[in-house]
Amino acid sequence: MGPRFFVGGNFKMNGTQAFLKNLIDSLNASQLDRDAEVVIAPPSLYLDQCRKQANKEIGVAAQNAFNASSGAFTGEISPEQLKDLGIEWVILGHSERREIFKESDELIALKVAFALKTGIKVIACIGEKLEERESGKTFEVVTRQLQAIAKQINDWTNVVIAYEPVWAIGTGKVATPKQAQEIHEYIRKWLKENVSEATAENTRIIYGGSVNASNATELAKQHDINGFLVGGASLKPEFVNIVNARI
């Protein structure tokens, strides 16, 4: 059977109360693949609204969290506060956090460890930029990002790894199924050799790089792709088709 298929919808800094209500009403009413785990990630100020409205089968994730329980960290939210709202997941290490907000591998790894310790499950994002791919450094970059997390955690049970080629996020470019499978296979091999065989077999490795309804089916057929982290398409009706890509 393999790991359970996982589809995350990262809404990023998009949506209003009214827009998200309509979006979740539509999701609630849709026939979603029962064998797929679906998690949506609205902007933080709408987390409570979305958690209360979404069917219990639909998970809700924050798009970021800090590595402290509370304190003088203006603008941040803590994993404890997420738990208080009934939020089960958090996305950490997204390329936009790395690139725009200059979060280091080390900070992201500390955030991952703290969230897990608090009881929040993590979608941990890794991936290379265009110049890194073109210079043949993809494996080097992915390894460095994985190593940082592995230094901070021993148990990967509640971690989903999202491979996101930065050059394919919001650009309309998509890694071919072969390119995506190659990196996913490498990540699984790295987990086997550096963590454990059981971790490699059970950890879900999902693809996030301009996934849409037209490419999801072919990507989902790849042996080591266990789902998707969807950006812009998660705000559209086609998100349902992506969730149902294996049906």
Mean pLDDT of the chain: 96
Res 187 pLDDT > 90 = yes
d(CA 139, CA 119): 30
247: pLDDT strictly greater than 80:
yes
Q: Which two tokens stand for residue 81?
A: 């506060």
Q: With a cut of 90, say whether residue 130 has pLDDT above it.
A: no
Where on the phi/psi map is residue 15: left (φ > 0), alpha (ψ -120 to 50), or beta?
left
- The pTM (predicted TM-score) of the whole model is 0.97
Quick one: pLDDT at residue 93?
98
Token code pair at residue 20 = 């998200």
Q: What is the CATH number of the domain that holds 122?
A: 3.20.20.70
Q: Which two tokens stand for residue 216?
A: 């999801």
HEC secondary structure over the chain: CCCCEEEEEECCCCCCHHHHHHHHHHHHHCCCCCCEEEEEECCHHHHHHHHHHCCCCEEEEECCCCCCCCCCCCCCCCHHHHHHCCCCEEEECCHHHHHCCCCCHHHHHHHHHHHHHHCCEEEEEECCCHHHHHCCCHHHHHHHHHHHHHCCCCCCCCEEEEECCHHHCCCCCCCCHHHHHHHHHHHHHHHHHHCCHHHHHHCEEEECCCCCCCCHHHHHCCCCCCEEEECHHHHCCHHHHHHCCCC
Residue 168 — very low, low, confident or very high, per pLDDT cuts 50/70/90?
confident
pLDDT of residue 164 exceeding 90 = yes
CA 179 – CA 191 distance, rounded (Å): 19
Q: Within a 10 A sphere around the Cβ of 78, how many other Cβ atoms? A: 21
Q: Lowest-pLDDT range, 38-42, 149-153, 171-175? A: 171-175
Q: Does residue 170 have a pLDDT over 80?
A: no
Amino acid code (one letter) for 206: I
Q: 160: closest CA among 198, 202, 131?
A: 202
Check 94, 96, 132, 184 and give the catalytic one: 94
- Give catalytic status of residue 223 as yes or no: no
pLDDT in tens, 209-224: 889 999 999 999 999 9
- The pLDDT tens digits of the residues spanning 33-62 come to 999 999 999 999 999 999 999 999 999 999
Higher pLDDT, 196 or 134: 196
Domain that holds residue 116: 5-243
Number of domains in the chain: 1
pLDDT above 90 coverage of the chain, percent: 92
Catalytic annotation present for 184: no
- Nearest CA to 239 out of 16, 28, 17 is that of 28
Residue from 37, 132, 164, 184 carrying the catalytic annotation: 164
